Structure formats: structure tokens, C-alpha cells
Structure 1
Amino acid sequence: MVNQLLLVVLSAPLVYLLYLIFIQPRYNPLRNLPGPPSKGLFRDQLGMVMNPSVSPRTHEHFVKTYGRNVMIRGILPWDLRLFTLDPLTLAHVMKHSHIYEKPWQSRRLITGLIGCGMLAAEGAVHKRQRRVATPAFSVQNMRELVPLVFAKGDELKEKWLEMVREAEKETEETGGLKLDVCHWVSRATFDVIGSAGFDYQFNAIQNETNELFSAYKEMFEVAVSQQSGALWGLAVIYLPILETLFLLAITWMLYLMARYPDVQARLRAELLSLLPPTPLSALTPDEVSRLYAGIAELKFLENVIREAMRLIPPVHSSARVATRDDVLPAATPVRTRMPDGSTQEVKEVRVPKGAFIHVPVEGFNLDREVWGPDGWAFKPDRWDNLPEAVVSQPGLYNNTLTFSAGPRACIGLRFSIIEIKTFLFILLTHFTFAESDEKVGKANVVLTRPYVIGKHMAGSQCPLLVTPYVPEGAQYS
């Protein structure tokens, strides 16, 4: 009797596993959608949609071959997921955040790291936290932070000038210095967040030995350095968006300026038109606020930021999980296999409770059927004459998903734009940026992080040649 009972207990998990692998997927409505062929029970298709080096081509291939609502396989055999680039479907998912929540894996990991804040909370808890936090991000409060952001941007500028002068003394040569702008912008951003959010001076620009800064940096650099292993896969799949911590966006914008020197020169000319004759550090808070008001209205600066955020969104992709059975609307026909084995085109997708929805932020932003044949190119002037298809796209920021959409859209959008415009103004009016001898690639580790190709073990890096800007006819000293 005991042996029989033991046999039942031991066999129950095996039976359940066989049920998950062979039976449950047969009743999942997502299996009726078109999608790439399976290569085996434990061969997922997440890498091809989440690796920035291949994902643009993968996304486009999916749309052309299978349509805009596609079934892909997750890590486990029964993990059938909806990959969607249909704007109506995505809008429904992002709008109904009470139905489509972040996966529990995401929430558990982020809660373990920083507690159950807005990034991890769902439902009524998230609503309450967002309602409490929203006044802190009001227009008036953001304006009051402008002098602080300017002060940190100016401190970073002075630090770089000091480093360039020291390097020139040592080598007795001019010509700038190779700097890891990702590292330095992260330090400056950490200082801004410490002062603005916690009234705490990390002094990361001057000294990076602060324990909290070191711990945060280490947490993500381990993931970058192991991006080809299991840790990287889990981090990419389950860690949630951390919009408010490191606006890597500035690093990618400086990288794009280095790659496109004509755009850099044109933007610098626009920014120099507002550069005051007195040092920034000598301006009063009111003068800084008036200066930023002028910067905020610069047209080409706005276009460059929009285009950079579209082309390289800080968050490559995200995931949601259905908390109940639902029917998603679709703007484009979905080829669906019917019970009798025939295939019909319908304008809806049935999603079962527990199914993952893959939200391809980058794929949405780069969709060439929407943005045009040059949708993968960096062209800031496109924003002066957008295709009609763009205007109907969902998204908090300029019809893109860079800052998400719906009730969980990034609450820190205004703060992000202030920091980006301020740092670009200060850095581009005092330095020129050029590519170094090290090629930079993209790694999708929570955020889209730069790394030196062939040196991923070193973590996030974006080395650029940084040279003090000298106006034509002037002399650098």
C-alpha cells in the first residue's frame, strides 16, 4: 500500500508535465495563429525577437510572412506567446493594464531588488502609488528641477575638460580623449536622480566609489557580461522596465552624433545660438530657467531627440500576461486555423488566461510599412513630414512606444526630456564627438545597453573620442 501511494506521489508531477507538454497546447487558441516553425520541444524563439542585432530583420520577416499577429514559443514547450505588431492589438493591451499585467517573474525580481514600487505593483496598489506620485512630476515641479540638472550637466562638462587637459599634459599632444560616455553619463544621471528624487548627494561624477552606485552598476554589468548565457536570457525575459533610473538615451544620442557628424554640426549650430556669453555656472536659477525655455523650443533639437528615441528606444521590448481569457481586436486580418481545419482571415485574436504578450517596442518604432522605406535610418528631418500611417499609432511619446502607452506609461517623461535636452545642450556646445577605434554593439539587458564588440565581459561601454569644441578662428587653451 505504501509503495503504491509513493508511486502515485512520484508519478503525479510526471503526469502533469506530460499534460503541459502534449495536451494543454492543443487547446490553446494561440496555436491556431501563423508563426515560425518549432525546432524542438525546448527550442524557444525568444532570442530571434529580442536580440537587437537580428530583431529588426526578424520583426519584418514575421510581418511579411505571417502577418501582424504571430504565435511564437517561449522557454517551455507549453509557453505559446502572442507576438503582435498590430497597432490596434497593442493599443488594447497597453490600455487595459488591469487585464494585461507584467509577469509575476518580473514583479518578484524587481520587488526583491527595490521593493514593491510602481515598477512592480499591479491593480489597485499601482493605481494608488501612481496617484500619489503624479503630483511630483507636475510641470511646475519639473521646471524647478531645471537648475539642478544644469548644474550636474555643467559639472560633468568641467570634469571632462579637466580629464582632457590632464591627458594632454601627459602626452604633450592635443586631440581630445577617448571616454566611455556610457559610464560618465550614468554617473551624472545617478547624481541627478539622487539630488532630485532623494535629496542625497552621491557625488558620482567626482567619485564613483559610492556603495549604492557601485551595487547598482554591478547588478546590470554582470548581466551584460554574461549576455550569451542563461543569466542574460532570464534578465532579458523577466526583468521589467526601469525608465527612471538610467536614461541611457543620452549615451545613444551622443553615439549617433558621433556616427553622423553632419547632424552633430547642424545641431551644435542651433544650440550655440542660445549659449550665453557668461559661464553656465554663473547664471542665476531664473536665468537658467529662461535659457532652458529657449532650448525646449529648438526645432532641430526636438527632431533629433524624437528620431534617436525612435531608432534606439532605451527599452527594446516588454512582456504582459493575460489575467483572464480575452479577445483582442486587430486592425489587419489574422490568418486563423478554424476547428474544421480550414484557414480564415478574422480581425480578432483569442488569448487564454496566462498567455504572454510580447510587446516589441523597437519593432513598433522601426516598422518600415509605417515609417517608410527609410524607417531603419537615422533621419531627424522625417519629423517635419511624417507619413500618415504614423499619426494613428498608439504611444505616449510621438506615436512611438519608447515611453510605453496607457495607464502604465512612463510617469517620468517630462523629467527625461529635460535631462536629455539639458545634457545635449551643455555637452554639444563644449565638445565634439567622434567614433573611436572600438565598434559599439547593442545588448538587450533590461535596457538597450551599449557594449564593445568582442569585449562584452567588460559590461556596458560606449567609447567615443571627445574633443573640446573650438569655434572657428578661436584657439583652444
Structure 2
Amino acid sequence: MLSSTWQLPLGLVACIPLSIASAVVYYLFLVPRLSSLRVLAGPPVRRLFDNHMSLVLDPFRSPKAHDIFVNKFGRAVRIRGLGPWDDRLLPLDPLSIAHVLKNTTIYEKPWQSRRLITSLIGCGMLAAEGAVHKRQRRVATPSFSIQNLRALVPLVFRKGNELKEKWDKMLHDSALSPSVHREDASEGMEIDVCHWISRATFDVIGLAGFGYHFNAIQNESDELFSAYKEMFEISVSQSQSFRVILGIYSPFLNNLFPDKRASTIMKCQDVIERVAGKLIQQKKEKILEGEKLGSSYAGNDLLSLMLKSNVATDLSPDQRLSDEDVLHNINTFMFAGSDTTSLALTWTLLLLARNPNLQSRLRSELLAVVPPTPESQLSSEEIESLHNTLASLPFLDNICKESLRLIPPVHSSLRVAMQDDEVPVSHPVRLRDGSISEQKSFHVSKGTFVHVPIEAFNLDKGMWGEDAWEFNPDRWDNLPEAARNLPGLYNNLLTFSAGPRSCIGMRFSMIEMKTFLYTLLTNFSFSETNQRIYKANVVLTRPYVSGKFKMGSQCPLIVKRLSREDPRGP
């Protein structure tokens, strides 16, 4: 009786090693042979668990890697992901990538990416797919109309001017310091522009997004600002990748055994839900109160506009967003609207510091449109007129486009095929056996990962010319034909993506970028320090000081107040 009692469990125990061995054989040897991408050419792997992730994700290596891939393997490349079972498509053909980004029902973000995003900022437009994403985008789109964005222009100018005044005070205080010699004071001071511009863009998106005063330029004491900043910077930039991956596949571990990252996220989310949740309720009450009184609530921040859009009479009840959905999308705007724009501005200032002739040329163009009346005394209409002038300045436009081309804040993205598909091509496809296929498409099986190489398209020498890796704003006056035909929401660039999931806040980002460049470059000059700044892809492409990675994103530059006698600068 005892032996029969133990017979079944022992049998089950004996099956465990067999099941594990079967799974190992299946994923290591059978799955790779069944991959639809197996016929495509691609870089070799030397060992069983080799992969190409560092080559395509590290900004220090990726431009050269992509260039080699195109020359050796064509524009439909098979790369290795996390293991032998993970063949991925690297589409470097404009027609192929346009197809992937256009067909969002076929190519979605993988559940792993969505779970990571959701665990941080909730299921807003960055993480949502299908009908949920469509519903959220429909409610949010009116908030980003040209008319609504125009109303935010004075706010951006005001915050740009506040940052200018803060730097003025820092330079003045530094010059008065007894430890600074007079001749050293005239050379300006070292300022981490990444840190300060991030504070300024947080202020902008706080007011533009919530109608909330972070007051981050003056100090960093606001609890909501601290919660967002800590969650975005520490929890994302300073986390261990292995533990993050483990948390994606086994999320219960973050609840049972939270590490520093998980604990930080939970603490920050509690603050955000409490403070931002209260803001949502207050604005909803004001909107309802306005309806009762027969007058519309005048708030023009994105939250107010989205809440008003959410109760519009032409929107059926089943298409409206819950308070949780609204909060998740505000979190998304905070993340996408502050970090990406501040990084774009930081990289632009660094590129101008490295190219003083271009910096002087841009400054001359900007100084020519400075109004005789101080900006603080201009009316909203005059500020809007100044912005319209800035928006039409050709060299400023070229500088912004070239910076966003050369160093896109989002380095790359990932999609997964939700069904079998035929991917069209405009270039011949090179096959694994060395032959070339003249077919106009190739097959992709359901479940195949597609690496969306944003930076690679922006730096493709076959499209942009041999100087594609150089900072050359004048290229935009005479683009090659191939570059003019590239897909992209913004000037044939993939920086803001393309298709139905392209960046909804692109126009607002450009308002911020041009306004801040105008204010800073007409008051200060920028030059490099003796510290080496390099790029690292840590969720976004961030600047780091060589040897100081653990200190987080930094971009120190020498900032000098422009002489009143010669405001042209260096």
C-alpha cells in the first residue's frame, strides 16, 4: 500500500527531467530550424548563446554595425536575439519599415515591452494596443490641436526665460565667489545642461500637462516632481537589466522580494496616484460645475482638455476613458514630454558646443529677430508672433532637424508579428545560401520579433550620403532623393516614428525645442569641457561622462554670458 502511494509522485518526478530536456531540445534546436527568417542572410554567431543585441542597441557600436549589415547582408537582415530560439528581423529597407509601422494590428509591441512600460507608468498610449490604444488616442488627439498648442507658447517662453535668469544668477554668484579669479569668472562656469534642462522641461510639462507648478527650476522639493524624477531616472537608468527581465517574466517576484528598483517604483507610484489623482478629481469637478453654469471650464492644460474631450457629446459612453486611463496617459505625457525633449535639447547644445562656427551662425539668425521690447513685457499675441517667426527661421529649423536625425532620443523599438505576413521590399533580398531573391516580399511568421532601427534609418549612408554620421545642418537645403522618400512623421526622420502610433506630441516638442534654443543662445555661449561625453542607450539615448556612469545622465558644458558689446559669442 505504501509503495503504491508513492508510485505516482515518483513517476511525476521522473517526468520532470524529461520535460526539461524536451524543452531544451525544442527551443535550442527545433525552433531555430522552423523560423521563417532562417532563409535570410545575417551576421553569424560563434557560440550557442551568442546574440547581436549589443551591436544593434549600443549607440557606440550600432552605426558601424548597421552599415556593415547593409553592405554584407542587404536590407532584410536576420539577427539573433536572446537565444537560439530568438531569430529577429532587422528591416533596413524603407518600404519594409513603413509596412511594419503602418500595420499596427499586425505588428504590436510585444507583451514583454508592454508589461515593462505598464509597471512603470501604467497602460497609457505607450503600452496600449488595439481598440484600447485607438480609444485613448481619439480622446487625447484634440488636446494636441494647433489651436490648443498655440495657447501653451507663452508658458514655454516664460519657463525658458526663468531658466535663463537662473543661469544668470549662478554665473553672477560664481563670479563673486572668493575662490574664483576674475579672469576665470570671465570664462563662464561649468553647468550640467542635461540636469537643468530636464528640470525646465518638467516645469513645462507640469503646467502644460496638469496645470501643476513643479517649480523645479527654482528647487527640487516638490513631492510630485521628486516622484516622477526618481521613478524615471533612478528606477530606469540605474537598474540591473537581469533583475528587470526577471521581473517582466515573473512579476510576482517584485511583490514578494522587491529590490531597490521595485521599491522605488511602488513608493513613487503611491505619491503620483495620491497627488495626481486628486488633481484629476478637482478638474473634473470644475468641468462639471462649468457645465451646470452654462460656461466651459477655461483650463487649457492637456489634462483639462482631455477630460473635456472625454465628456464630449459626440463620444459614446463605451469610448470614454476611466480616471485610471486618464492618469496613465498623463504619466505617459510626463515621461514622453519631459525626458525626450530635454535630451533632444541637451544633445543639440552639445553638438553646437562642438561646432562653434555653426553656433555663431545660428545665434546671428536668432539675434536678428529679438524684439526691442523685453520678452517679459510682451503680450501673449506678441509672444505668439515671435514664435511664428522662430518656426520659420531656416537655419534654426535645419539645426533642429539635424540634431534629431543624428541623435534621436529613442534609439530603436520592438514589434512582434501577431499573424503571418508578407513584408514588401524595395531592394533585392540576400539569402542565407548567398543567392539573391528578386521577389518583392518575404514571409514573416506569427510571433516573429521585428527590431525597429530608428537610429539606423536616420544615419543610413545609402540614404543620407557618406557624411551621414556628421553634424551637417546644411544637408537639409539639398537632401538626396533617397532621403526625401524615407518614412517618418517628421521630415523623413523616424525620430518621432511613423504610422498610427507616431508621436502625438511632436508639435509641442518642437515648440519647446525652438523656444529654449532661442532663449539660451541669445543669452549664452556654450563650449566643451575637458570631460568626454558619450552616448548610452538606457531606455533613451542619454549623455554620460566617461568614467562616471553610476552618477547618471550628465552633460557638463562651459556656459558663458554673452557680452553686451559683442553678443554674437564665439
What range describes the TM-score normalised by the shorter chain of this pair? over 0.9
The CA distance in 1 between the partners of 2:485 and 2:199, in whole Å, is: 38
Q: Which has the larger radius of gyration?
A: 2
Partner of residue 176, structure 2 = 169
Partner of residue 304, structure 2 = none
1:469 Cα deviation after fit: 1.1
Mapped contact 1:95–1:405 kept (Cα < 8 A): yes
Identify the match of residue 387 of structure 1 among 468, 476, 480.
Answer: 480
Question: 1:198-213 counterparts in 2 under 5 A?
Answer: 198-213=210-225
Mapped contact 1:225–1:456 kept (Cα < 8 A): no
Question: 1:28-43 counterparts in 2 under 5 A?
Answer: 28-43=35-50
Mapped contact 2:429–2:436 kept (Cα < 8 A): no
Change (3 A) 1:431 1:201: same
1:13 Cα deviation after fit: 3.6
Question: 1:317-396 counterparts in 2 under 5 A?
Answer: 317-337=412-432, 344-396=437-489
Does residue 418 (structure 1) correspond to residue 418 (structure 2)? The answer is no
Mapped contact 1:224–1:456 kept (Cα < 8 A): no
1:5 Cα deviation after fit: 2.6
Mapped contact 1:180–1:462 kept (Cα < 8 A): yes
The CA distance in 1 between the partners of 2:426 and 2:446, in whole Å, is: 22
Higher mean displacement: 69-78 or 168-177:
168-177
Per-residue deviation, residues 261-301 of structure 1 (Å, max 9, x unmatched): 00100000000011122322222211111111111111110
Q: Give 2:53's aligned amino acid.
A: L
Query: Unaligned stretches of 5+ in structure 2?
Result: 1-6, 248-331
Does residue 244 (structure 1) correspond to residue 337 (structure 2)? The answer is yes
Partner of residue 193, structure 1 = 205
Change (3 A) 1:114 1:319: same
1:155 Cα deviation after fit: 0.4
Mapped contact 1:432–1:466 kept (Cα < 8 A): yes
Does residue 73 (structure 1) correspond to residue 80 (structure 2)? The answer is yes
Q: Give 1:122's aligned amino acid.
A: E
Change (3 A) 1:473 1:387: closer
The CA distance in 2 between the partners of 1:153 and 1:83, in whole Å, is: 40
Q: Give 2:348's aligned amino acid.
A: M
Partner of residue 62, structure 1 = 69
Question: 1:17-56 counterparts in 2 under 5 A?
Answer: 17-56=24-63
Question: 1:126-141 counterparts in 2 under 5 A?
Answer: 126-141=133-148
The CA distance in 2 between the partners of 1:474 and 1:49, in whole Å, is: 43
1:231 Cα deviation after fit: 6.1
Report the 3-state secondary structure (helix = DSSP H, G, I; strand = E; otherwise coil) of the residue aligned with 1:375.
coil
The CA distance in 1 between the partners of 2:116 and 2:64, in whole Å, is: 31
The CA distance in 2 between the partners of 1:234 and 1:345, in whole Å, is: 42
The CA distance in 2 between the partners of 1:392 and 1:474, in whole Å, is: 40
TM-score of the two chains, using structure 1 as the length reference = 0.94
Instruction: Decide which structure has greater helix share.
Output: 2
Report the 3-state secondary structure (helix = DSSP H, G, I; strand = E; otherwise coil) of the residue aligned with 2:365.
helix
TM-score of the two chains, using structure 2 as the length reference = 0.79
The CA distance in 1 between the partners of 2:469 and 2:243, in whole Å, is: 30
Report the 3-state secondary structure (helix = DSSP H, G, I; strand = E; otherwise coil) of the residue aligned with 1:441.
strand
Change (3 A) 1:316 1:474: closer
Mapped contact 1:397–1:403 kept (Cα < 8 A): yes
Partner of residue 445, structure 1 = 538
1:109 Cα deviation after fit: 1.3
Higher mean displacement: 378-387 or 244-253:
244-253
Change (3 A) 1:115 1:221: closer
The CA distance in 1 between the partners of 2:478 and 2:566, in whole Å, is: 37
Query: Unaligned stretches of 5+ in structure 1?
Result: none
Partner of residue 291, structure 2 = none
Change (3 A) 1:456 1:475: closer
Per-residue deviation, residues 289-327 of structure 1 (Å, max 9, x unmatched): 111111111111001111111011111111111111111
Q: Give 1:169's aligned amino acid.
A: L
Per-residue deviation, residues 383-437 of structure 1 (Å, max 9, x unmatched): 1111111111111011110100000000001000000000000000000000011
Change (3 A) 1:231 1:64: farther
Change (3 A) 1:169 1:100: same
Mapped contact 2:415–2:450 kept (Cα < 8 A): yes
Mapped contact 1:451–1:459 kept (Cα < 8 A): yes
Report the 3-state secondary structure (helix = DSSP H, G, I; strand = E; otherwise coil) of the residue aligned with 2:409.
coil
The CA distance in 1 between the partners of 2:404 and 2:449, in whole Å, is: 26
Report the 3-state secondary structure (helix = DSSP H, G, I; strand = E; otherwise coil) of the residue aligned with 1:49.
helix
Identify the match of residue 377 of structure 2 among 274, 277, 282.
Answer: 282
Identify the match of residue 217 of structure 1 among 229, 240, 265.
Answer: 229
Mapped contact 2:198–2:338 kept (Cα < 8 A): no
1:342 Cα deviation after fit: 7.1
Identify the match of residue 196 of structure 2 among 168, 184, 188.
Answer: 184
Report the 3-state secondary structure (helix = DSSP H, G, I; strand = E; otherwise coil) of the residue aligned with 2:337.
coil
Does residue 304 (structure 1) correspond to residue 316 (structure 2)? The answer is no
Per-residue deviation, residues 322-374 of structure 1 (Å, max 9, x unmatched): 11111101111112358xx9764433221111111011111100101111111
Root mean square deviation, CA, Å: 2.2
Report the 3-state secondary structure (helix = DSSP H, G, I; strand = E; otherwise coil) of the residue aligned with 1:267.
helix
Mapped contact 2:37–2:87 kept (Cα < 8 A): yes
Report the 3-state secondary structure (helix = DSSP H, G, I; strand = E; otherwise coil) of the residue aligned with 1:199.
coil
Change (3 A) 1:114 1:221: closer
Does residue 116 (structure 1) correspond to residue 128 (structure 2)? The answer is no
Mapped contact 2:522–2:567 kept (Cα < 8 A): no
1:230 Cα deviation after fit: 4.0
Per-residue deviation, residues 228-281 of structure 1 (Å, max 9, x unmatched): x6469999xxxx995333111011111111010001000000000111223222
Q: Give 2:479's aligned amino acid.
A: L
Mapped contact 1:232–1:445 kept (Cα < 8 A): no
Mapped contact 2:363–2:568 kept (Cα < 8 A): no
